[in-house]
Amino acid sequence: MKKSYLLRIIREEILKEIKISSPSTSELAKAYAKIKEYIKNGSKGALDLSETPIRSLPNGLKVADYLDLRGTPMQSLPTGLEVGGFLDLSNTSIQSLPNDLKVGGTLYLNNTPIQSLPNGLKVGYFLDLSHTPIQSLPNDLKVGDYLDLTDTPLSRKYTKEQIREMVPGVKGGISL
């Protein structure tokens, strides 16, 4: 087979798995290669995809340490995503989280358009919702330590005591 034909097939396969808005071929290939290499190496350590044009991830992705998606056009996450450390979605277009999301450490959602969280969400350490239009919190939300609601509709509407009554699963402090 000709090299150009093989490259076209590879590019088409990449576009099927990862939807990216008009990236250069090299940007697309680098982001895709990084994910493939991470999975190939047993999903150990961290996966840093910050500031890439990536829009989607494979279902069932497991990241042992942290997953950094800051500054990407990410709007949603795949089902079965598990992150052992922190998941950083700051400054993304994230609009929803999957019901089965697992975050062992910190979940950064600051400066995103997210308005609600799924029922049963558990965050091992810190949940940062500052500077978001978050409208509600599930009453079964569990946060191992700290919840940041600075500059949100909830921080303008409720006191810390009222938030704590709404979400008793927050074990540490609440910042409004």
Q: What is the pLDDT of residues 130-147, one digit of tens each?
A: 999 999 999 999 999 999
DSSP 70: T
Whole-angstrom distance, CA of residue 24 vs CA of residue 8 = 14
Whole-angstrom distance, CA of residue 118 vs CA of residue 91 = 20
Q: Tell the residue number behind the tokens 């500054």, with chain if given.
A: 71
Residue 136 sits at φ, ψ, to 5 deg, of -155, 160
Whole-angstrom distance, CA of residue 133 vs CA of residue 111 = 9
pLDDT band at 30 (very low <50, low <70, confident <90, very high): confident
Whole-angstrom distance, CA of residue 4 vs CA of residue 80 = 35
Least confident of 34-38, 130-134, 170-174: 34-38
CATH, residue 98: 3.80.10
pLDDT band at 24 (very low <50, low <70, confident <90, very high): low
For 116, half-sphere exposure in the C-beta direction (CA atoms, 13 angstrom radius) is: 8
Instruction: Name the token pair of 56.
Output: 């989607």
DSSP 46: -
Whole-angstrom distance, CA of residue 134 vs CA of residue 163 = 13
**CA 1 to each of CA 8, 9, 16, 88, 141: distance values in angstroms, whole numbers, following the listed order:** 12, 11, 22, 42, 54
Of the candidates 111, 110, 174, 113, which has an alpha carbon nearest to the alpha carbon of residue 141? 174
Number of domains into which the chain is organized: 1
The amino acid that residue 150 corresponds to is T
For residue 30, what are the domain limits?
3-175
Residues 45-58 have pLDDT tens digits of 999 999 998 888 99
